[in-house]
Every structure is written in structure tokens, then in C-alpha cells.
Structure 1
């Protein structure tokens, strides 16, 4: 894949951040986009599913939106995420609101290159890897990059927000 085909990829290119773009055939019947990405890419790329991250758009107590990025093999701890983001509580954002705010469709929401910059928390486990994969901004498109670059470009905080 060449060029900046999504805002996330354009951001990486604009900041001259080393990355690789990977695609896979997205099944429109898939109900778990993260599991689909892990199944499609982990063996092919020689990564463990914990290196593949999902992006969740969440609503904070003040009705603002934020983003949580965590391994596809885990679930979000609402209490830990709220604490990391400095809010009392969180809930999952409405699909349409998440899509409208980020500029991406559900299942293809990237933590990078969003239409509106949102407060972001990345699970600290991502930092144990030399490379992670996150959505490239489209279903079936993943970006491989250094997790420290992900944190820096997303202007994220890191915290233990994932649970098994």
C-alpha cells in the first residue's frame, strides 16, 4: 500500500515515523474487529495477539469523549480508565457519536489522525513490545509501529487500564 491512504497513515508520514501498513480481508459478518485482526495477522507477522491493539471510544462523566487503546485479548477496566483520564466514571460512547467525532467507522477507528483530538490512554502493557499494531483507519487495515511513537503521536497517557 502506498501513499497516505488514511489520516492515520498521513500523520505517520508527516512526522516521519517508521511504520508498516498491513491489510487483511475484512469479513463484514465479523462481530469482533480486534479478534478478526489478531486471527488474520498474528501468525502471518510473527506477533502475539497481545501486540494487536483495539481502540475504544468512551464517554466521560462530563459527556466528553476519550479514547482507550488496549490489547484485543483484554477488556477495558472502566474504573482504571476513568482514573487514568481524571474523570469519575466512563461508559462506551454511542457508535454514531464515536464515528462522527473521530472521522472513522467502527471497527476502523484509529487512535491516530482523528478528526478531533481526544484525550487518550494507552494500556501500559503496550510498552513491553518493540512493535504493536493498531487500526490504520479502515476495517482490514493495521499499522505496525513502535508503541512509544503511538503514545507520543496520540498525546496519550499510559496506565494499566486492561483486564483479562
Structure 2
């Protein structure tokens, strides 16, 4: 196999001289985060998905939440100062971020959006996020992720 093609997410980390691990897996189309973690061997509790939501103000926001959890729209809206917030349509994801569903990374989007990372991320030495394309997961320290994107930690998931 030849040299791995770099994604925008990888280039962004390289530019900031941040150490990360690239985990690849065989996949031709979208699979959910739980299956991705299974294929890469990444721990489910330290694996996070990237969601893009739109506020009442028409601003876009990025939320990074554990793969087995759902974002709480009320908590998420409050964190970014919006009255309400909703998921964007899958068909709009590439136009807004430059990424496809299943390969959306909080790093290296077309435009940097305000980002909120679920607060459990900071309890791990290493978290697993999309590497910017289907079939690629990046493992890195949460503090390194916070160093390259303007983000904050908050409790933004639904509780039973």
C-alpha cells in the first residue's frame, strides 16, 4: 500500500505539529460510530462523533459527542447562545463543511465554526474522532484538539 493521502484534518494537525494516530478501516459507505469503533478497536466511551447544527440565527455550530449518545438540543442551544438549534440536513453537510456523512471531522472544515465538545472528552488521555473521510479515525489527546480549534467543553448530551 502506498503513502496515505492526507485529509484536511491531518494537514491541520501536522501544521500545528500535533501528534496523532491514524486508524484506517475498510468501509465504502457511511456506518455509525459504534461500528467504526468496533472496526478500529477504539474504545466506545472515548470515541466521539461530529454533528453540525444550525441555530435560529442561521449560524452553524459543531458539537462533538460520544458515539453512543445523542446531543440535547436545549443544552446545545444554550451553550452557543441560541434560542433553538437543529441538525442540518445530511444533503447540506458537504456544502457546509467540505466533509461527507461518516467522514465529518471537527478539524479542517471549509470554515471554522464554534465548537462544543462533550465534557467527558477531557477525562480521557486520548479520544477518537473522524479523520476527515470514511475509513479514517484519528486518535489524539483532547487537549491537542482544543489547541487547534476554538472549542469549549460542556455537558451537551441527553440524560435518561
Q: Same fold (TM over 0.5)?
A: yes
Residues of 2 paired with 1:4 and 1:121: CA distance? 28
- TM-score norm. by structure 2 comes to 0.92
Hey, what does 1:8 align to over in structure 2? Answer: 9
SS of residue in 2 equivalent to 1:125? helix
| Counterparts of residues 57-96 of structure 1 (less than 5 Å) | 57-96=52-91
Hey, what does 1:125 align to over in structure 2? Answer: 120
| Counterparts of residues 1-164 of structure 1 (less than 5 Å) | 2=3, 5-28=6-29, 32-42=31-41, 47-163=42-158
SS of residue in 1 equivalent to 2:27? coil
Residues of 2 paired with 1:35 and 1:138: CA distance? 16
Structure 2 unaligned segments of length 5 or more: list them.
none
Residues 4 and 10, structure 1, Cα contact 8 Å, conserved in 2: no
Residues of 2 paired with 1:19 and 1:100: CA distance? 27
Residues 17 and 149, structure 1, Cα contact 8 Å, conserved in 2: yes
**1:46-101 Cα distance to aligned partner (Å, 9 max, x none):** x4201111000101111111110011011111111111111111100122322111
Residues 109 and 138, structure 1, Cα contact 8 Å, conserved in 2: yes
CA RMSD in angstroms, aligned pairs only: 1.6
Residues of 2 paired with 1:2 and 1:52: CA distance? 26
Deviation at 1:151, TM superposition (A): 2.0
SS of residue in 2 equivalent to 1:163? coil
Moved more, 17-26 or 88-97: 88-97
**1:100-159 Cα distance to aligned partner (Å, 9 max, x none):** 111111110000011111111000000000000100000110010001111221211110
- TM-score norm. by structure 1 comes to 0.90
Count of residues paired in the alignment: 158
Residues 4 and 13, structure 1, Cα contact 8 Å, conserved in 2: no
Deviation at 1:163, TM superposition (A): 2.8
Deviation at 1:2, TM superposition (A): 4.8
SS of residue in 2 equivalent to 1:67? strand
